[in-house]
Amino acid sequence: MRRSGKSLLAATWLAAFLIIPCLSMAADQDVQQKLDSMAKEIEALKKQVASATPEKASGKSISDWLTIGGDYRFRVDSLRGKVPDYWQFGFDPTTGNPVFFPVSEFKVKNDVLYTNRFGLDLKAKATRNVSVTARLLMYKSFGFQDSVDSVGPFFADRTGVFDGTQGHVIPGDGKLIVDQAYATWSNLLDHPVWFSVGRRPSTGGIPTHLRQNEPKPGLGGVPGLLVDYAFDGMTLGWAPDIEALPGAYAKICYGRGFENGLTSTSGNGQRDTDMIGVTVVPYDTDPLYVNVQWNRGMNIFDSPIMKNTAFGDTSPGFNLGDIDWYGLALLSTLKDVGPGKLNVFGSVGMNVTHPNGNTVVINGFNTGAGLLFTGQNESKTGWGAYIGARYDITSTRTKLGLEYNHGSKDWIPFVPAADDIWTSKLGTRGDVYEVYLIQEFKLAPVSSYTSKTFFKIGYQYYDFAYTGSNNWVGAPVKITELNNPTAAQMLVPLKNAQDLYATLEVKF
């Protein structure tokens, strides 16, 4: 019996040793099956997430093909101006007949004008060598949804909103408008040639970018002394690689300033207003940038479409003729000048008018005012000059700027979208002095490497020698000779004007 018990015990242990490995093998197989199943489920989830994520398109993230940026600006202006003795042209409200009456010298002011401006920039790479660029813009006054708070009957470029000045001048109702939208096709036929079409980047040109604390405009830029207007048009450019002429390029530009629409076959005296231009930049480096420009404006209108003007809503009625513009701009950045670098520039321009004899008619009254003439149909030649410098202190990120520009009696560039409250300073017939300080904050950029925050304080002084700054309708009159009924003015003339301003700006 004792042997029998021992045999039974031994058989039991033997069975246990045989069963345990089998159970272990079964458990391992079950665990492995579960792990394989989980791996398949995880892989399936990965594929679902990848297909549901909009940031993936053909293996590219959004940042590979879309760039988003923009800017915000808060600005405060304190404005002062002096109106000389002059005679005013108007219409009797009861009879509609023209009247002339004397006005004694007086002063105008706006102690505090607050404005907001917001811009949103988008650039998308669509296909190989093709991209689309857009800029949306909003500009409004604090506490007002219209432009009458900052508009005065002083200058033609500030009496209303033009198609190409929306969002740039005269604060509006706070709506986002399309300031730029254009497509660019580069490397055409595998050559250094590009074609671009749409609403052009034809504002804020060289060298006005310095006082705006913006980088130098690229190939799409314009000379700021001649052009500052948001044109719809197209460009064909060529940038050859010439060792002796680093950065050289040339382009032909076309823009439409006014679309006349459908008319009768007999015509209505009004045609589309178009502009063509040729730019040659033989040298584009930091030490030296050279820009040679020719523009021609064809079928210049007598009165652009404007809203909230001193004479009510107006629209073009007749073409007054053509204008040729010629310009030369030089820009240089001198590094390691003391504790910083020095930016210096000089720009000159000339305009030649070709009037067709048409004159402005208001309420059936022929004013005799044509393209830079009144009463006598003749071509006029004007000129303007613009010089300045900005010194950048590297360690403190402080930038000090000083600018001066002069315009002759018959000077008339096409710059109504320039960022000045009174009137575009570069279209002034007389002298303008400006000094400013820009202080950037030492804050680490987050949204992009070009992001920055800064404030700016500046002062402008306008000394007008002739009437009609930024206006091609009628002959200019010397400011000191306005107290005469034969020199009656439709707009209120200014003898001088001042603007003390400050901004807080964020670029992102």
What's the pLDDT tens digit per position in 160-208?
878 889 899 888 888 899 999 999 999 999 999 999 999 999 999 999 9
The residue behind tokens 């584009």 is: 284
What the chain holds in terms of domains, given with CATH numbers, is: 67-507 (2.40.160.10)
Model confidence at 134, pLDDT cuts 50, 70, 90, reads very high
Model confidence at 278, pLDDT cuts 50, 70, 90, reads very high
What are the start-end ranges of the E strands in 200-318?
A: 232-238, 249-258, 273-284, 289-301
Q: Which residue has the higher pLDDT, 315 or 22?
A: 315
Please determine, for residue 18, whether its predicted confidence score (pLDDT) is greater than 60: no
Calpha distance 423→150 (Å, rounded): 12
Which amino acid is residue 194, in one-letter code?
Answer: W
Q: In this predicted structure, what is the pLDDT of residue 146?
A: 66
Q: pLDDT over 90 for what percent of the chain?
A: 69
Of 317, 313, 407, 415, which Cα lies nearest the Cα of 370? 317
Q: In this predicted structure, what is the pLDDT of residue 55?
A: 47
Please determine, for residue 149, whether its predicted confidence score (pLDDT) is greater than 60: no
- pLDDT, tens digit (0-9, with 9 covering 90-100), for 237-261: 999 999 999 999 999 999 998 888 8
Structural contact between residues 204 and 223, judged by C-beta atoms closer than 8 angstroms: no
> How many Cβ atoms sit within 10 Å of the Cβ of residue 225?
29
- pLDDT, tens digit (0-9, with 9 covering 90-100), for 293-305: 999 999 998 875 5
- pLDDT, tens digit (0-9, with 9 covering 90-100), for 327-380: 999 999 999 999 999 999 999 999 999 999 999 888 888 999 999 999 999 999
Q: In this predicted structure, what is the pLDDT of residue 362?
A: 84
Of 421, 439, 443, which Cα lies nearest the Cα of 500? 421
Q: Which residue has the higher pLDDT, 468 or 272?
A: 468
* DSSP type of residue 223: B
Please determine, for residue 19, whether its predicted confidence score (pLDDT) is greater than 50: no
Q: Taking residues 22-43, what's their average pLDDT?
A: 56
* CB contact set of 208 (below 8 Å; sequence gap of 6+): 224, 228, 418, 419, 426
- Please tell me the pTM assigned to this model: 0.84
> How many Cβ atoms sit within 10 Å of the Cβ of residue 109?
10
Calpha distance 497→143 (Å, rounded): 25
Q: In this predicted structure, what is the pLDDT of residue 137?
A: 96
Q: In this predicted structure, what is the pLDDT of residue 58?
A: 53
- pLDDT, tens digit (0-9, with 9 covering 90-100), for 206-226: 999 999 999 999 898 999 999
Structural contact between residues 146 and 139, judged by C-beta atoms closer than 8 angstroms: no
- pLDDT, tens digit (0-9, with 9 covering 90-100), for 384-423: 999 999 999 999 999 999 999 999 999 999 999 999 999 9
* CB contact set of 297 (below 8 Å; sequence gap of 6+): 257, 273, 274, 275, 322, 323, 325, 414
Model confidence at 15, pLDDT cuts 50, 70, 90, reads very low
Of 108, 113, 89, which Cα lies nearest the Cα of 100? 89
The residue behind tokens 């003339």 is: 493
- pLDDT, tens digit (0-9, with 9 covering 90-100), for 79-116: 999 999 999 999 988 888 999 999 999 999 999 999 99
Distance set, CA 42 to CA 2, 56, 285 (Å): 60, 19, 55
Q: In this predicted structure, what is the pLDDT of residue 57?
A: 47
Q: How far apart are the first and last CA of the chain?
A: 96
Q: In this predicted structure, what is the pLDDT of residue 304?
A: 58
